[in-house]
Amino acid sequence: MKRRTSAYLLGIGIAALAAVTAFAEAWPLANHTHYITFSRAVQLPGVELAAGTYIFELAAPDSDRTIVRVSSRDRRHVYLLAFTNSVARPATLKDDEIVTFREVTGAAAPPIAAWYPPDLDSGRQFIYR
């Protein structure tokens, strides 16, 4: 009886491991690094970025997909390291559009609402307070 129970539990453990492995393979572990160039200043929570090229990426893609890091093109300066919310990619968003903006009045730099890596059906929405 004890051997059957052990074999049964081992079988359940192997099945669970296979399910976790299948899920991990279905979700790529790439950090989805993207170089994004802005022709004018833009805002992120707590920071304004001047016109230029920046790196947007998941900070810890294999352990926490909620943290986004935005850094300089040479990675020497981190402008933002923040928690984000998952958001579905809008059906109306063109394939080459990888950020959306919040509305702004006047000449203020537009705040980035969300970043959508082109190879995913979802994106990361920035949290403003």
Q: Per the confidence metrics, is the pTM higher than 0.85?
A: no
How do the pLDDT tens digits run along the chain, 129 residues long? 544 444 443 333 333 333 333 333 333 445 678 999 999 999 999 999 999 999 999 988 777 789 999 999 999 999 999 999 999 999 999 988 999 999 988 889 999 999 998 878 899 999 998
Dihedral of the alpha carbons of 107, 74, 63, 61, in degrees to the nearest 10: 70
Q: Apex CA 122: angle with CA 81 and CA 90, to 5°? A: 115
d(CA 37, CA 55): 9
